[in-house]
């Protein structure tokens, strides 16, 4: 079994605390993605699981065994680096088999495992080439092949697709997904690209400044973000936020007063507000409408329109000066400076209190 568990794991670089107490469980066979802005500590956390960085305090278990102080080679992990880290003076076949050769595996065994990995990754025609003769995608596949032959319990990926162009990235994403299905191995994947996170993950861990903001499945994080940070990080384009005042309303509802005077009522659920409480309302650009009927209307002026063909992005300015983005149908058109009536559906609104915690999540099924 290859489950990974972290208990109160902390990391200090001198005086600076980079990881400030992380508790996490990754189930056997799960594809877990660490996502977060630059500098949040996701690569450091991955390297701590790999054994390349020391864990300052806390406990790491892999497969139920304590690996906190165990050397990287004995942890049953294999790592794929962002920069590929291929040995440039060796052929692809030698690169893939290097670790096995150095640890005394018999030649026949090395050849067998290399062949399996090469077939899985379509590298069989490239085995005699050197890394400098390969394209970026091929190099990354060699790096993945090198990880596969070790038959590890856990695969660790450190932003492996960051150096590839957009088209190749999509292709490799699908390949890694297929690999996960074929190998059924536990995979921990670090990325700053939330599209990768959303498409590949069974479970997403959102990190910010060394702490976990939220853990959940992609759709859970999309529909029910637990705080402002997660709401603003997950989803592209970014969720819109406006300051509003909330007051309790009859019938288990909460009345939100939006800037410009528009009124919105949302079901309170378990949330309790005091009259006139300052809150932040979040609503995603794809849920807003332009023109037509809506639960609340925000008058806005168009500043910029982006026509993508499949959709149109309107960047508007509200009456109080704040910026909003609205995703409209691909055929929608408007001239800069035009007045637009932005429709806000109550079911899509998330409400966050002054500390940034979500008190109400939207429910699009209603």
Q: How far is the CB of 163 from another protein (least distance, A)?
A: 4
Half-sphere exposure of 339 (CA within 13 A, CB side): 4
Which ranges constitute the DSSP H helices of the chain? 42-50, 92-102, 107-120, 136-148, 166-183, 194-200, 218-223, 228-233
Q: Which is nearer to another protein, 89 or 333 (CB)?
A: 89
Cross-strand bridge partners of residue 342: 290, 298
Sign of the four-CA dihedral 292, 298, 304, 306: negative
Q: Which is nearer to another protein, 52 or 211 (CB)?
A: 52
Measured CA to CA, the distance from residue 281 to residue 33 in angstroms comes to: 28
Q: How far is the CB of 38 from another protein (least distance, A)?
A: 14
Neighbouring C-beta atoms of residue 112, cutoff 10 Å? 13
Q: Do 327 and 313 touch, CB atoms closer than 8 A?
A: yes
Cross-strand bridge partners of residue 44: none
Q: Which is nearer to another protein, 51 or 343 (CB)?
A: 51
Q: How far is the CB of 102 from another protein (least distance, A)?
A: 4
Q: Which is nearer to another protein, 155 or 324 (CB)?
A: 155
List the beta strands (DSSP E) in 88-236. 154-158, 186-191, 203-208, 211-216
Q: Which is nearer to another protein, 11 or 223 (CB)?
A: 11
Binding site for another protein (CB under 8 A): 50-52, 72-74, 77-79, 81-89, 98-99, 102-103, 130-134, 136, 139, 146, 150, 162-163
118: its two tokens:
């090469």
Q: Which is nearer to another protein, 71 or 335 (CB)?
A: 71
Q: Do 246 and 267 touch, CB atoms closer than 8 A?
A: no
Q: How far is the CB of 351 from another protein (least distance, A)?
A: 41
Q: How far is the CB of 150 from another protein (least distance, A)?
A: 7
DSSP conformational letter for 238:
P
Q: Which residues of 295-308 are buried (b: 16+ CB within 10 A; e: fewer)?
A: bbbbebebeebeee
Closest to 347 (Cα-Cα) out of 329, 324, 366: 366
Q: Do 205 and 211 touch, CB atoms closer than 8 A?
A: no
Q: Measured between alpha carbons, how far apart are the two ends of the chain, in Å?
A: 41
Closest to 50 (Cα-Cα) out of 149, 147, 161: 147
Q: Are strands 277-283 and 16-26 parallel, antiparallel or unpaired?
A: unpaired
Q: Which is nearer to another protein, 38 or 103 (CB)?
A: 103
Q: How far is the CB of 112 from another protein (least distance, A)?
A: 18
Measured CA to CA, the distance from residue 15 to residue 20 in angstroms comes to: 12
């Amino acid at each position: 079994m290859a489950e990974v568990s972290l208990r109160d794991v902390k990391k200090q670089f001198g005086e600076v605390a980079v990881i400030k107490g992380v508790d996490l469980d990754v189930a056997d066979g799960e594809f877990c993605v660490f996502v977060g802005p630059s500098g949040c500590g996701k690569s450091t956390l991955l390297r701590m699981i790999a054994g390349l960085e020391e864990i300052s305090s806390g406990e790491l278990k892999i497969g139920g065994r304590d690996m906190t102080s165990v050397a990287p080679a004995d942890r049953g992990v294999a790592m794929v680096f962002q920069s590929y880290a291929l040995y440039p003076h060796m052929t692809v076949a030698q690169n893939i088999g290097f670790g096995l050769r150095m640890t005394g595996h018999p030649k026949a065994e090395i050849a067998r495992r290399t062949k399996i990995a090469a077939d899985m990754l379509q590298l069989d025609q490239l085995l005699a080439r050197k890394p400098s003769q390969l394209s970026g995608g091929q190099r990354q596949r060699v790096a993945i092949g090198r990880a596969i032959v070790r038959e590890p319990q856990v695969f660790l990926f450190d932003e492996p697709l960051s150096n590839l162009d957009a088209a190749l990235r999509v292709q490799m994403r699908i390949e890694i997904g297929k690999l996960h299905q074929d190998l059924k191995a536990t995979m921990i994947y670090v990325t700053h690209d939330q599209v990768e996170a959303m498409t590949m993950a069974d479970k997403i861990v959102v990190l910010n400044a060394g702490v976990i903001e939220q853990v959940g499945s992609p759709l859970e994080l999309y529909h029910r973000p637990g705080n402002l940070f997660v709401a603003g990080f997950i989803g592209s384009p970014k969720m819109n936020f406006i300051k509003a005042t909330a007051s309790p309303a009859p019938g288990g509802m909460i009345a939100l007063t939006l800037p410009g005077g528009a009124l919105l009522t949302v079901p309170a659920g378990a949330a309790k507000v005091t009259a006139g409480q300052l809150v932040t309302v979040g609503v995603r650009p794809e849920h807003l409408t332009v023109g037509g009927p809506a639960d609340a209307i925000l008058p806005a002026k168009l500043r910029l329109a982006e026509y993508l063909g499949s959709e149109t992005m309107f960047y508007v300015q509200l009456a109080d000066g704040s910026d909003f983005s609205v995703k409209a149908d691909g055929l929608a058109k408007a001239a800069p400076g035009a007045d637009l009536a932005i429709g806000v559906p109550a079911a899509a609104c998330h409400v966050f209190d002054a500390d940034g915690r979500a008190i109400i999540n939207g429910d699009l099924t209603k």
